[in-house]
Amino acid sequence: MEQEGDNMDIAGDGILPQQHGPAGDGEETDPTQYYENRLKMLDSLRSAGVEPYPHKFDIAISIADYVAKYNSLGAGEHLLTVTESLAGRVMSKRVSSSKLFFYDLYGDGVKVQVMAGASYSEVAETEFYKCHSVVKRGDIVGIIGYPGRSSRGELSIFARNLILLSPCLHMLPNQRTGRCTAVAGKTTRAKADADCWVPGIGRNTEAYVLKDQETRYRQRYLDLMVNHQVRHIFRTRSRVISFIRRFLDERNFLEVETPMMNLIPGGASAKPFVTHHNELNMDLYMRIAPELHLKQLVVGGLDRVYEIGKQFRNEGFDLTHSPEFTGCEFYMAYADYNDLMELTETILSGMVMELTGSTKIKYHANGADNPPIEIDFTPPYRRIDMMQALKSIAGLDIPSDLSSDEANKYLATTCEKYGIRCSPPQTTARLLDKVSFMSPGHQPLLELLVKTWLV
């Protein structure tokens, strides 16, 4: 008799009540006791001649490909002559009886239901319950079985055999029931978990199983394991970098790698991290920017170069600043800042379009608890002259000769007046950089080897 994974218990001899969530996984115990019980389980398996961490399991198909391949099956349809083998992590276990178990198996963010019944299992009926009783949430298992849909239409793999591949020794955070819902309304509960979030719309962090942000960031493996939306953020970041690299490659830019450690820090105004080279017995500085090395390559005849890599700045951090971050810098000969502005428009609008299918995105600038704002990346972008904006918008009358002492004193007084902190040395370039938060754009004074633009 086939029964859906969310049905009630079955009446009959030897039948157990169906258990959902933690109760169905024996997780009502203390986490420490749970861990000790799992260690004892490993010992008992080894004593019985079963290796709990087998060397090899042959996978014939991924869960994502399995779902795509057999999604057209109708309710109650079974392919008894087809055998598939797949593997994944158990994120939910439901017990209908001693002869019928249900699992939600996840692989790369995609879920498939496993129906394990004694009637079609290759495991002896006397060993069936014992085989499945050791499986807990978080375990990685291999499944060999045939594809089909349950009577209620749930795509499943009907397990002829289940092999424990990697037991999870620690208790996972409790799973929520139901599927996540994207706050922008583009994704509904009827869609698969893997489709709950796409770039360009807000994320519903309330749907996360693990909510504590510090725990999530310190234990990314756990975050990825239980918060299925998070993997799409990783994928999106990878797609962003791939797009930038492809965009520049198509325009004949050459990707290079420049030194991460330098004798003299340069390329930006920032405090570097210091490391020590034991063999040479000298201090080196982690790079704060690859700018100088890239410009040297342009001088040497490489007209278009770029680098995507890590940069390090030993300064404060917040939501938009990190001591270690990935940056992209590119340089092109025979071009000016107008060419670079057009190139920037093209790369940003094209990237957003490729990732989201639109040039408009919604962004929670003030946190997920506040309404998102819409950002339109459709070119052309508004051009703002920095010095004119500081004068017209901020009411500043900065002396035209920025190399003069008068300009330095004026900017220092302005920073003090508006409570803008500028750590020593208070050079004119550093002061202007601090004041310029009032308006986008950079002055030649702030850049090395930049042309002066005469107007």
Domain boundary assignment for the chain: 21-166, 384-455
Number of H helices, E strands in the chain: 11, 13
Find the mean pLDDT for residues 195-201.
64
Per-residue pLDDT at 155 exceeds 80: yes
CATH of 21-166, one of 3.90.1150.10, 1.10.10.10, 3.40.50.620, 2.40.50.140: 2.40.50.140
Q: What residues are paired with 19 via a beta bridge?
A: 95
C-alpha separations of 340 from 28, 135, 334 in Å: 60, 57, 11
pLDDT at 26 over 70: no
Does residue 453 or residue 160 have the better pLDDT? 160
Rounded to 10 degrees, what is the CA torsion of 232, 238, 243, 249? Answer: -170
Continuous segment of H or E residues that includes residue 233: helix 230-250
pLDDT for the residue numbered 193:
42
pLDDT at residue number 196: 57
Q: What is the pLDDT of residue 366?
A: 75
* CB within 8 Å of 9: residues ≥ 6 apart: 15, 16, 17, 18, 96, 97
What is the pLDDT, as a whole number, of residue 18? 41
Band (102; pLDDT cuts 50, 70, 90):
very high
How far apart CA 269 and CA 356 sit, in angstroms, is 35
Least confident stretch, 12-21, 94-103, 140-149: 12-21
Mean pLDDT, range 400-412, rounded to an integer: 93
Rounded Cα–Cα distance for residues 233 and 277 (Å): 36
The strand pairing partners of 275, in sequence order, are 284
Indicate if the alpha-carbon torsion angle 380, 382, 388, 392 is positive or negative.
positive
Region 24-45 average pLDDT: 85
Instruction: Measure the CA dihedral 350/355/358/364, to 10°.
Output: -110
Q: Which residues pair with 85 in a beta bridge?
A: 144
Structure tokens at 122: 């290759």
Answer with the residue of higher pLDDT: 439 or 55.
55
Which residue has 């893997």 as its token pair?
194
The encoded tokens of residue 59 equal 């996978």
* C-alpha to C-alpha distance for 99 and 194, rounded to whole angstroms: 30
Q: pLDDT tens across 232-279, in order?
A: 999 999 999 999 999 999 999 999 999 999 999 888 878 999 999 999
Length of the chain (residues): 455
**pLDDT of 185:** 36
Mean pLDDT of the chain: 85
Residue 426: which residues within 8 A CB-CB, separation 6 or more? 408, 412
Q: Quick one: tokens of 30?
A: 């203390």
Under a CB-based contact definition with an 8 Å cutoff, are residues 436 and 389 in contact?
A: no
